[in-house]
Structure 1
C-alpha cells in the first residue's frame, strides 16, 4: 500500500524552531517546538523521518537548519516571509504572527502549491571551495592582527623607537628593519649615513629622509629593559617578526588562489562587475551568497539573511523595529564592507548614503541602509545571471549623468 504523502514546515529562529507536519488532507499530524541546538536539529530529522516527510518548507534558504536538513537528505523549499504573510489570509483575517501557525502555513503551502516553489540545491563544489578559501583568509587576517598587536605591545615596552618609524608595523620594510635591529642597543649603531646605506640596500621607496628616521629613533622614549631581559626581548621580537612575515606570505598565497577560483567560477563576472568590488570583495560576496537561486527567492530574503534589513515585529498598534542580530555574520560584514565603499564610485550610492546621514543616521546605520538598497540590485544581477549594468539596473545611470 502506497504511503500517504506528508508535508512539513519549519518556522526557525536562533533560539527555537516550530515544526508542523500535515497529511495530504491538510490535517496536522505532528506539531511542536524544539530548541536551536544539536539535539533539537536531530529531533527534527527524527520526527520528519517518522512521518515519511521528504520535502520541508522554510522561510529562509540559509542558516544551520537548512544546512542540517540538506545534509540529512531532505528537500528544502524556500517560501519567503512576504509570501507567508500573504498565505496567512487563507486561514483567517487576523493575520497575527505566531511561530507554530506559520509552520503550519509553510507545510500546507507545500501541500496545495507544490509546483510553485523551487527546491534549494546545495552550493556547487566550486562555491564551497571558494567559501573555504575566503574564510581561511579571514581567519588568517585575524591571526595576523593578533600577532601584530603582540609585537606592538613588546615594542611599546622595550623598543618604543621602532613604533611609527614606518607607515605600518607589519609592512615588509618595517619587518626587515626589526629583523636587522630588534632592540634599541642594535639600532643605536645607526647614524644618518648608515641609515641611508641601509635604506638603499633594502630598496626603501618611502618619502622619509634618513635624518628624519634617525631623529625619530633618538627622540623616542627609552626602553625599560636591559641585560638578560633585553636579550629575551630580542628573541621575542625576532620570533614575532618571522611569524608576521609568514602570515603575510600565506595571505598573499591564499589571495592568489582566491583570484584563480573567482575567475573560474561561472558567477564570477557578476560579482566582479559591481563597483568597488575588486577581487577579494567579489569573491567573499559570491562565497557567502552561494549559487543556489532558490535560497533567496526575493531581495528581501537576501537582505534579511545578510542582516542589513531591520527586524520588524508588529502586533496590533504596537510596532517594534530593531537591529537584526540573527543573520549570516560573514555575509553582513562582506556586504557592508563593499557597500560603504561604493559612494566613491557611484553617484546613486553617494546620494543614498548622504540622505541617510542627513536624516541623522550614524555611519554604521547609513552603511546598512545603503547595503539594503544595494541588495535589490545585487539580487537582480545574481538572479538573472547578468553582470551589473547601470543602464539596466535602476536609476543609477541617470544620477551618474546628473552628477557629471
Structure 2
C-alpha cells in the first residue's frame, strides 16, 4: 500500500479525468462496478470476484474506460489498496449517505448492489465540490490502528466472558463472587482453578487459605481470616456430583477469561512497541494521563495525514465532539451529532474524561459544564472539543503538548494560586 499520503491532493479537480467516474459496491465475495460518462450515462456495468485475478480484472476494466476516480463505501481493505496502488483517486461515500442518495433515482429506495455502484459513480460526477479524495495514512499508522481496534475488541470479549462467569458463579459458587477485587485478576482465576466446588471451599480454614495465598504471592491487604469469613458468610454453592459437573463449566469460563487476558496483554506489548517507533508518538504521549495505550488509540484514529483535517473544526466534527445545528426559519435546534467516526469519538472521549483528573483546565471545563446542567457524557464531549483544538495545533505543528505554554491552563493555575 502507498505510504506517501501527503503527496495526494486534498480536493478533487473541477472535472474528472477523461470525463468518466466509477463506483464500486463492495461485498464479501464479489464487487459490483459501474462507470458513467460526463452526462450520467452508464457506459459499463459488471461484477468482479474478490480474488487476485478479479481485482486485476477490475483495474483492467477501469483502465480500458480511462477511469481516474472511483467512489466506494469503505476506506480500507484489499479493494481500496488495489485502487490506490494503481494510482487511482478513491473517494469514500458512507453507506448512510448512499442510502439517502438512492431517492434521487427512484422512490422505492431498495438496496441493489449494481444500482448502488451506479449511485456511487454518478454522485462522484455531480457532487464533486462536497467530496474529498481518500488520503491514506502511512502503513505504520494503519497497522497501529488495527492493533488498537483488535485490543478494544478483545477487551469487549473479556468483559462479556467475565460477566458470564460471574452469572454462572452466582448460581453454583457464590462465595467466589466479590472475594477478590476483579474476577479476571490472576489471583481470582488461580483461586477458581484450585477451589472450583463448594466441597473444596469447605476444606479451607484461615490458616490453609493464608498458606495458599502466600504461595501465590498474593499482595492484597485483606487478612486471610477476613476472606475466610466472607466465604463462610456467602450462600453455599453446589456440592457432591452436581458441584463436580458444574466445575467443568467454571473451568471453561475461567480458561476463556485467562486466554483473553493473556492475549490482551500480548497485544498491548505489541502496541507499545509500534507506538515507540512511530514518528508522531511524542505528540500524543505528552497529553495528560494519555499513557501508552490511550495515546496509541488517539494517534491511530486521528491518523498522520495532516491534509485530512485542514481545520480543528473538521476534526471535531468527524469525532462527534461538535454539536449538530439545524435551522429552519426562526426555529434553530442544536443536538447530538450522530454522523461521525465512532471509533475516533470513543478514543477522544475516553482520553478527555480521564484528563480532568490530572489537568486543572480540563477539570474546570468539565465542572463548568456540569454546573450548567449538562450530564456526564455531554460534559465530556464539551471537554473533548476543547482538547481537540489543542491536539490539532500540536499535531499540525509536530509539537508535544507543553503545559507551560498552554495559556488557558496557566490562567486557571494562577486563579487557583490566588484563591489559596
TM-score (norm 2): 0.73
Which of 313, 327, 344 is equivalent to 2:357?
344
Deviation at 1:366, TM superposition (A): 0.3
Q: Does 1:247 align with 2:260?
A: yes
Deviations 1:345-383 (A, max 9, x none): 112111111111111001110001100111101111111
Against the structure 1 CA distance between its residues 71 and 351, is the aligned structure 2 distance closer, same or farther, given a 3 Å change threshold?
Answer: farther
Which of 105, 111, 128 is equivalent to 1:107?
128
Q: Does 1:129 align with 2:155?
A: no
Which of 203, 211, 236 is equivalent to 1:197?
211
Q: Does 1:367 align with 2:388?
A: no
Against the structure 1 CA distance between its residues 237 and 226, is the aligned structure 2 distance closer, same or farther, given a 3 Å change threshold?
Answer: same
Aligned pairs for 1:5-404 (under 5 A) are 22=15, 46-47=35-36, 54=68, 64-67=73-76, 72-73=83-84, 74-75=88-89, 107=128, 120-223=134-237, 225-404=238-417
Deviation at 1:226, TM superposition (A): 3.9
Deviation at 1:45, TM superposition (A): 6.2
Given that residues 45 and 72 in structure 1 are in contact (C-alpha distance below 8 angstroms), is that contact kept between their aligned partners in structure 2? no
Given that residues 22 and 108 in structure 1 are in contact (C-alpha distance below 8 angstroms), is that contact kept between their aligned partners in structure 2? no
User: CA–CA distance in 2 between the matches of 1:312 and 1:338?
Assistant: 25
Given that residues 45 and 69 in structure 1 are in contact (C-alpha distance below 8 angstroms), is that contact kept between their aligned partners in structure 2? no
Give structure 1 stretches of 5+ with no counterpart.
1-8, 11-19, 79-101, 111-116
**More displaced 10-residue stretch of structure 1: 226-235 or 122-131:** 226-235
Deviation at 1:229, TM superposition (A): 2.5
Deviation at 1:391, TM superposition (A): 4.0
Given that residues 377 and 394 in structure 1 are in contact (C-alpha distance below 8 angstroms), is that contact kept between their aligned partners in structure 2? no
User: CA–CA distance in 1 between the matches of 2:127 and 2:395?
Assistant: 26
Equivalent position of 1:84 in the other structure: none
Given that residues 25 and 33 in structure 2 are in contact (C-alpha distance below 8 angstroms), is that contact kept between their aligned partners in structure 1? no
Given that residues 26 and 73 in structure 2 are in contact (C-alpha distance below 8 angstroms), is that contact kept between their aligned partners in structure 1? no
Count, aligned residues = 350
User: CA–CA distance in 2 between the matches of 1:365 and 1:253?
Assistant: 34
Against the structure 1 CA distance between its residues 157 and 65, is the aligned structure 2 distance closer, same or farther, given a 3 Å change threshold?
Answer: closer
User: CA–CA distance in 1 between the matches of 2:20 and 2:308?
Assistant: 26
Against the structure 1 CA distance between its residues 38 and 303, is the aligned structure 2 distance closer, same or farther, given a 3 Å change threshold?
Answer: farther
Given that residues 356 and 363 in structure 2 are in contact (C-alpha distance below 8 angstroms), is that contact kept between their aligned partners in structure 1? yes
TM-score (norm 1): 0.76
Deviations 1:232-251 (A, max 9, x none): 11111122222222211111
User: CA–CA distance in 1 between the matches of 2:294 and 2:332?
Assistant: 36
Against the structure 1 CA distance between its residues 143 and 372, is the aligned structure 2 distance closer, same or farther, given a 3 Å change threshold?
Answer: same
Against the structure 1 CA distance between its residues 294 and 154, is the aligned structure 2 distance closer, same or farther, given a 3 Å change threshold?
Answer: same
Task: Classify the secondary structure of the residue corresponding to 1:188.
Answer: helix
Deviation at 1:51, TM superposition (A): 8.6
Against the structure 1 CA distance between its residues 109 and 196, is the aligned structure 2 distance closer, same or farther, given a 3 Å change threshold?
Answer: closer
Given that residues 346 and 400 in structure 1 are in contact (C-alpha distance below 8 angstroms), is that contact kept between their aligned partners in structure 2? no
User: CA–CA distance in 2 between the matches of 1:43 and 1:312?
Assistant: 36
The Cα RMSD (Å) is 3.6
User: CA–CA distance in 2 between the matches of 1:394 and 1:77?
Assistant: 39
Given that residues 271 and 387 in structure 1 are in contact (C-alpha distance below 8 angstroms), is that contact kept between their aligned partners in structure 2? yes
